[in-house]
Amino acid sequence: MKLAYWMYAGPAHIGTLRIATSFKNVHAIMHAPLGDDYFNVMRSMLERERNFTPVTTSVVDRNVLARGSQEKVVDNITRKDAEEHPDLIVLTPTCTSSILQEDLQNFVNRAQVESKGDVILADVNHYRYNELQAADRTLQQVVHYYTEKARKRNELPEGKTEKPSVNIIGISTLAFHNHHDCTELKRMMADLGIEVNAVIPEGASVYDIKNMSRAWFNLLPYRELGLTTAQYLQEQFNTPYVDITPMGVVETARCIRKIQQVLNEQGAAVDYEGYIDEQTLYVSQAAWFSRSIDCQNLTGKKAVVFGDNTHAAAMTKILAREMGIKVVLAGTYCKYDSDWFREQVSGYCDDVLISEDNGEIGDAIARLEPSAIFGTQMERHVGKRLDIPCGVIAAPIHIQNFPIGYKPFMGYEGTNQIADLVYNSFTLGMEDHLLEIFGGHDTKEGITKGISADSDLGWSKDGLAELNKIPGFVRGKVKRNTEKFARERGVEKITAEVLYAAKEAVGA
């Protein structure tokens, strides 16, 4: 556990709450002090929810610390069971409430006696797991609970569906473009003649879980959420899973071919090659666009990619393999799964960075000076400070990354959206020069401090005056080169003379 002013992945209880609130008619009781209860506001705002978020905070205060919290927690569970009539109540602690070392499973057992709905304790290590790991673990726990419950009651259906079918696992609230991706994946499955047996957890009832065994295979669009659930279902019901993320022309085709293989191994006799060719030629414009004169102008340009495993790996492949853009650095904050990421991006980038420190990735971007960044909102802010454009491809995200319009990143329509994002993220041709000619562009004084919080580099008035005389389309690069020159020589304040010396040093 550490203090941080900005984190790529939130604490464990956020992951658990994301799963609980993704299911229909499930309520979460969060055992936490005031200050840990921001999830409701965050979800209502970002998802533009019309209904109240089904999370209640059982507040840990001084009275609870003095007397113990068992009665209060049990009362909150039974009260919400009577008021809301949920199918399931999930009790989750937070890091701070876990310090109390209370027997929360005993609280759950007591509450279950009086509650009509089911009650479970989120079995997550809040000191070792982050938001993504906790979400994955909680989903597997819920699926396991209702599978075993149905098994004990002899309610598990036997056999598979008559036609090929799929469970799409990992679609959840507060995730990056999940709803749009899910719609696109459903369309793709329909085109392939595959029925959607269940979408878990978003919008599903916990009573849908017992029917997951009927699917012919499971599809995991996101590596971070659903993998342990798919492994559990494979172990219990011998259900194969496809974990190839269908992002980009090449990986979408590879995903479909894997689905074809999985279905044919079960006697389906399907052939999707014609579908892949038609979609690549006529629905996706990305393959054509990557060969157009517009995209050729991007060939060889440098880019930095950073995000979660799924999106950062997919974007690295798309940039390098499909668009001819040089990825000088690919990185992820999913340290717990770093081996997979390195394997995926190997051969598609110059270097790999595995880090949870946004200052470290910011310093790397400043050092590499790419033409564009593809990352999270943190990298977007870094790009603003360095005057480098950034396309957001992964969480952490802002409300602008929950578009009202349809913007999937997966499937063949997703290839078009990604191509647009990439193209529009670069500074194109004479764009900055024309803006400079017409005036009003980039007349503010440049930010002169480095990305790292410990940077104390500054500019004098005459230095800034000279810097602002430089055309906007090269000013950012000149500023960064000058600051690098000054740091190497221990100069704390950049004057006009230092600027001239730096220009001479680099032959500018």
Taking a C-beta distance cutoff of 8 angstroms, is the pair 178, 172 a contact?
A: yes
Question: What residues contact residue 382 under an 8 Å CB cut-off, 6+ apart?
Answer: 358, 361, 362, 365, 366, 373, 375, 388, 390, 451
Taking a C-beta distance cutoff of 8 angstroms, is the pair 255, 411 a contact?
A: no
Q: What interhelical angle do 39-46 and 12-22 show, nearest 10? A: 50
C-alpha to C-alpha distance for 415 and 397, rounded to whole angstroms? 21
Q: Is 208 a catalytic residue?
A: no
How many Cα atoms within 13 Å fall on the side-chain side of residue 250?
A: 11
- Catalytically annotated residue among 61, 277, 294, 357: 294
C-alpha to C-alpha distance for 344 and 342, rounded to whole angstroms? 5
**Joined tokens for residue 308:** 């979660």
C-alpha to C-alpha distance for 486 and 493, rounded to whole angstroms? 8
- Which strand (E) or helix (H) includes residue 382? helix 377-386
DSSP for 250-316, written as a single string: HHHHHHHHHHHHHHHTTT-----HHHHHHIIIII--HHHHTTSHHHHTTTT-EEEEEESHHHHHHHH
DSSP for 114-149, written as a single string: H-SSEEEE----TTT-BHHHHHHHHHHHHHHHHHHH
Strands 88-93 and 458-459: unpaired
Q: What angle do CA 234, 235, 238 make, to 5 degrees?
A: 50
Positions marked catalytic:
294
